[in-house]
Amino acid sequence: AQSVTQLDSHVSVSEGTPVLLRCNYSSSYSPSLFWYVQHPNKGLQRLLKYTSAATLVKGINGFEAEFKKSETSFHLTKPSAHMSDAAEYFCVVSRRGTDSGYSTLTFGKGTMLLVSP
């Protein structure tokens, strides 16, 4: 079974300070991992994805994530937060369906990022 644990339900930072959103995963084989962001009343947007090509993955809007197999972690970071980064962030693992072999997404519970001026 696959699972994703986002270690913080809320993270508060000041504008211009670093962002760290933590994610641990459980997977019985090498997973594909994603981070998605959801702004209020908007759909989900993919920030970045890991598919075993490189352990440090760069995404949009200055975000990046590092895959650490030994720690089963996939933490999301950004050097300097902007007000526009305030949103809910989801760590996602893609797993193969039991019948077809194709994937379904398993979402973490989400981390709400609050950015203060």
Ramachandran sector of residue 101 (left: φ over 0; alpha: ψ -120 to 50; beta: rest): left
Q: In the bound complex, what is the minimum distance in angstroms from residue 65's beta carbon to another protein?
A: 14
Name the β-bridge partners of 94. 32, 105
Contact 20, 77 (CB under 8 A): yes
Tokens coding 64: 């990046």
90 binds another protein (CB under 8 A): yes
Q: Which of 8, 22, 49, 62 binds another protein (CB under 8 A)?
A: 49
Q: Which of 10, 58, 69, 109 binds another protein (CB under 8 A)?
A: 109
Q: Which of 23, 95, 113, 115 binds another protein (CB under 8 A)?
A: 95
Closer residue to another protein, CB minimum distance, 81 or 95: 95
